[in-house]
Chain A
Amino acid sequence: GAGVSQTPSNKVTEKGKYVELRCDPISGHTALYWYRQSLGQGPEFLIYFQGTGAADDSGLPNDRFFAVRPEGSVSTLKIQRTERGDSAVYLCASSELAGGTYEQYFGPGTRLTVT
């Protein structure tokens, strides 16, 4: 079956621009996570959705970052006024049930480069 998909796979943008990264989770999965991963590091938590609501957004680094999941399926991570330090691979993951103890299925990621 279809796994988690993310678009675009690569995004190059200039400093100061706005970007949107999209995640299509596995159909029916309740929980959705966004992470970002820099080279040589593990995934760093950004935000967690249960259904449509952001249950935990404590990982968002500042107010330039925002994410939505309006219908409880597709999610969009939005970054305003991008900075070079935002360059990383942004990973999305979903799990069948909420609760944290369930296996997460990761998408292939979006590599964001801010020049």
Chain B
Amino acid sequence: GQNIDQPTEMTATEGAIVQINCTYQTSGFNGLFWYQQHAGEAPTFLSYNVLDGLEEKGRFSSFLSRSKGYSYLLLKELQMKDSASYLCAALSGGSYIPTFGRGTSLIVHP
């Protein structure tokens, strides 16, 4: 089966940088997603990584190491609106169904 592990909660200060880690164990591997979910709202897509390395998209970057089964989401210049749950989801080889972690609740304070 699949196992996704990410911290339950993190806090950070407005304007700072925060790194949210995710480790995964899958049968084969076909990519890793990050989604953002504000309280009471639908998840929204942030990134998809299938090759090793860092992909930057504005204030958000996502990193993947396939050999280590490890990814992180890096958020720069934090804003209050970045307070949300960040969901890591891994796709097993040959599967169409991503397995979601329980999410990391990020609290940004002034």
Contacts and interface: CB of A to CB of B under 8 A. Distances in A.
A66 interface: no
A62 to B, nearest CB: 18
A100 B42 contact: no
Contact of A43 (B41, B43, B95): B43
Contact of B98 (A55, A98, A100, A108): A100
Interface in A34-54: 35, 40-45, 48, 50
Interface stretch (B58-66, B67-75, B76-84, B100-108): B100-108
Contact of B45 (A98, A99, A103): A103
A99 B94 CA distance: 9
Contacts of A59: 97
Interface residues of B, number: 24
B48 A101 contact: yes
B84 to A, nearest CB: 13
| Interface range on chain A (Cβ under 8 Å from partner) | 20 to 34
Nearest to A107: B42
Contact of A41 (B41, B42, B44, B103): B103
B60 to A, nearest CB: 14
A108 B97 contact: no
A42 B48 contact: no
Interface of A: 4, 31, 33, 35, 40-45, 48, 50, 55-56, 59, 91, 98-101, 103-109
Interface of B: 4, 8, 30-31, 33, 41-45, 48, 50, 87, 89, 91, 95-103
